[in-house]
Structures are given as structure tokens and as C-alpha cells.
Structure 1
Amino acid sequence: MSRTSADGPAAALLTNPHADRVRAVRALGTRSGRRRAGRYPVEGPQAVREVVRWAPRTVRDVYLTPEAADRYAEIVEDAEAAGLHLHLGDPSVLDAMSPDAQGVLAVADLPEAARPAARDEVPVGPLGADALGAVLAARPRLVAVLAQVRDPGNAGTVIRVADAAGADAVVVAGDSVETTNPKVVRSTAGSLFHLPVVSGVSVGDAVEALRAAGLAVLAADGTGDLDLDDLQDAAAVAGAGVGADAHAEPAERAAPADLRAPTAWLFGNEAWGLPPEDRDRADAVVRVPLRGRAESLNLGTAAAVCLYASSRAHR
């Protein structure tokens, strides 16, 4: 196993694309392979850069081609600083590990196998249900909840949007896609490792925990009685440059549909949206206005509009 030296990665090179190590990494592309190994792949320079920088405690190994090690020197430097195992591999080896590696790949622990975060630290990256309490104890103001979202690209896009909008966490609830699915990881473009992403919790339990932590739960759905434009107008007028008390007791807090209040947005399945039982769990159901002839918005676009509305109101 090669490691880095003070001058960069050691010269030893992995050259056999049929080696056991290569096959083991390749197997992580399947759900059963990830479950057996307790690990998952992080593919491509952007995602590897972010996991090494922001969630190094979860990383087992980092693989680069010599060309990639030169081109992405910051990955090498951050990995060395974190004491991670670095390996140089021939391009054929990286390609055999993953056709999507682009010469850079990391192997990280699944949430249940990862080392615990430091005391009083809010962990980031994919997390299990047992981390929800620690995430909520940090008093988040904006959370995205995905309910029964099955498409990896859609789930990854919402995680990326939540990160961009300044959300404090994402909860992937119910029978949703695995957050460590390689397609999810790639589609987040590294945002998966910037904020806590909790999975393994039911929609009902997630809503109950969020509400108990002082967040209003707003369901985004085309059938909503409330119009997002009206809520934004009301928040702008009521705020007048002064935000609501972020963590007042529920009885003292603004109305549930006040965008200035700490809010969890509930987003449903890309095909059928939120079922009645999930809409009923929310404090209010909000629709995004459609002024043209479009029948609906896709999940990522709707999430972006709603999360940025709250982000703007919180400012």
C-alpha cells in the first residue's frame, strides 16, 4: 500500500486492473457490495476534494492516477494533512475501479461504520438515523426533507440546492434512495459533504422530531392552499429588516407559514408527490405558483424555489 511522502505520492504504482483490491473497490458500485464492505465509493475530483476536506474522518483510502495527483495537488495536500492513505494507480486501474472516477476516487465508510465525530461537533456527510438528535440539537433554521424520493439524480440535486441555499441539514426519509448510491454522490457535486444528510428515519418520525426542535414543517405540493408568493410578500412586510426569533417557544413563534421562522420543507416523490398522510403531517401545504402553461415543476426546481424563499426571509 503506497502512501504519500513529503514530496508527494510515493512512486509505487498500482498497475494490475484485475487485482483483488481493484475488484473490491469496483464491487462498491453495487448496493450489496456496499453493504458487505460497509463502505462506498466517492468518484471524481470534485467529490473527492470535498470529502477529503470536509469529512476526512470517514475516508479509508484515496486513489489517483499520477496525472491526477499532479493536476489536483490540493487533494493530495489535504489528504496528507488528514493522515489518509493515498495510492497511485495506473489509469487502467482507476478505470477498472470505476468508469466515473476521472482518475480520482476515494473509499469512505458507510454511516454506521464511520468513526464518530468529535464531541460537540455536528458531523457532515451521509449520516444514520441516530445522528438526527445531534443535528437538531444544533438548532437548525432551515432543513430539507425528502420523502420517498427514489431517483438518485433528483435526491442529489436537492442536496446540492439545500447546500447552496444555506440549509443546515437534509433528511432523506422513508423509502428513499440511499445517500451513498454513487449516482447520488456524483450529482451532489461535493455538497453531500458540506452539511449533515440524515437517512434511515421514517417521514413521521422526521416530522415529529423537527417540530419538537422548534421548526415549522411546510409541505411543498401543487394542491397547497397557501401560495409561496403570498408568503414571501408577507415575510418581507412583517420582517421590515428584522428576522423572527429563530428559536422561540412554539407558542411565541410566528405563524407556521411565516417564512421567517425556522422551517423544514417537506418534498415528495418525483412521480406522485406527497401522499395525503404526509401532507397532513405538515403545518401547512404550500404551492409554487405556475404562471405559464407548465403543468408542474420538477423536484429539484421546486426545492430550489422553496428553499431560497426561506433563505431570503431568514436574511
Structure 2
Amino acid sequence: METVRQNTKGKKASEILFKKERFGRRLVKDLKRNKYIYIMVLPVVIYYLIFHYGPMYGVQIAFKDFSLTEGIWGSEWVGFKHFLDFFKGYYFWRLIRNTFLINIYELLLAFPAPILLALLLNELRRIWFKRVVQTISYLPHFISVVVVVGMLVDFTTQNGLINQLLSIFGVEPISFLQKPEWFRTLYIGSGIWQSIGWGSIIYLAAMSNINSELYEAAKIDGANRFKQALHVTIPGIAPIIIILLILQIGSMMSVGFEKIILMYNPLTYDTADVISTYVYRKGILEANFSFSAAVGLFNAIINLTLLVLANRISAKVSETSLW
């Protein structure tokens, strides 16, 4: 009996070794065959190793009482103290609520906007007009966030364009950037304006790969333009939509830090303060590095969890997933 067990173990070990050798040979052949592609990818890999994976050793300060004089390795371990302080903190639920709501609004309003624009552009038959619309919609993407916020400030002041238009209808001037209830509207609206054109590119590219015979068959069946879009175009780009939706859900707890830090002020903290801005204040302004690292790590773990769950649900429901 013992001899049989040893023979079985020996066979399994040899099979594993054979698979490793076979994988190694395939890898070497692939490297030789696609060496130029790997050379092109190499700078990106090096970048991520140096600037993304390398600094990960510093995550340990989230579990330490970090001191600049003691350094990362010399600082005292405090375990989950900073996490518990954050969970019990006065601002915890406000930060979670604001971060979650802004991302929900982006998911419901900003995410479908490029899809709708792509569907509309796909229906245009005048090529010159289609190109003009595409160019105009792409341009805001290349405008700096600082400039976009500057435009918001100019348009929403007491004497700004928006208040001047409102005064025509007898509406009193509104201090939009000082009103908490207006912050999310301005943030989401300006984000849609800036990204809708650029975001539609990938959907237009996916639409160009849809077999034209499907549209011809739909026409024969009596489908109008709307039904063709509903039953041919949208199913044709569904895998792309699902992949981008998974990625969007995977960043649910991450909000555009630069834009919010430029837009918000103490008057709008109640609706504008999110996890990323809180980390900035605690880490950079107050030099509480360990606490801010703990909050940032918590945020990253939530994002990773959402990404994995969204990917798993998508794989079961639609058979489309990231991995």
C-alpha cells in the first residue's frame, strides 16, 4: 500500500514538473516570437513596479504610529487602532455617504451619457456633421480640471452668466459654490460635459465592428432606426458596456480628488467632503500619516471588494468578465 502511495506521489510530481517545463518552453517561444511587443510593454511594467508596487511597503504605516524620526521600520506597531479611530470618528458616516452618493450619481448619469452620445452619433448619416459634433464633444476632455473649475467659478458667481440668465426670469442670484445642495449637481454636470465625448470613442469603435448584415436583416423584418439600435446596436456593444461598468463599480469609493479639492470649501463640506479629500487634510495638512494611510487602505480594500463582486456577478449573469 505504501509503495502504491509513493508511486502515485511520484507520478503527480513528475506531471507537475512536466507542466512547468512545458509552460516554460511556451513562454520562451512566445517571448521570441513577440519580442518587440514585450519590449514595448516593458516601460509600462517598469513604471508600475517602481511607482505602484514599490511604494506598497509603506502601507505598513497604517498599522504603526509613524514617526519621521523613527522611520517606517522603527515606528511602534499599534495594530488596527487607526482603523478603529476612523470608524468611530465624527466624520465617518458623512464621508461614506458623500463618497457613495457622488459615485452613484456618476453611475446613473455620467456612465450612460457617452453610450447615448455614441448611439446618436452612430445614427447620423451626414459624415461632415458627425465629425463636427465629435470634435466639439471631444475638446472639453483636453481642458485642465483647474480651467474647468475656473469656468464654473466665473459662471456661477453673483454676476456670472448663469445668475444673469436667471435674473431674466426674475430669479434671485444663487451662490452655487457656497450652497451644499448644489455641489453634487455642479460636480456631476461639469464631469459629464468634460468626459462625454471622449468616453463615447470606445463605444463608437465597438459599433463599427457590428456586422452590417444584422442591420439589413432587421430592416427586412420591419425594424425602424430605434428598434435597430435597441435590438442590434446595444446587444453588439453590451460586452464593452459590461466591462466598463465593472471597472466603474470597482472605483465606487474613489472620487476625482483634484476637482473636489478645487471646488469645495468649508461651507460645502456637508455634501462635498469625501474620503480622498479627508485623507489629504489628515495626511498632508495635519501630517497624520499613519491615520491617513489607514483610511486610504480601507478605501482601497472596499474598491477591490466591489470590483471582485461585480466581476463575479457579471460572469454568472452575462458570461462577460474581466477574468
TM over 0.5: no
Question: So what's the TM-score if we normalise by structure 1?
Answer: 0.20
Question: So what's the TM-score if we normalise by structure 2?
Answer: 0.19
Higher alpha-carbon Rg:
2
Which is bigger in relative contact order (C-alpha 8 A, separation at least 6)? Answer: 2
Higher share of residues assigned strand: 1
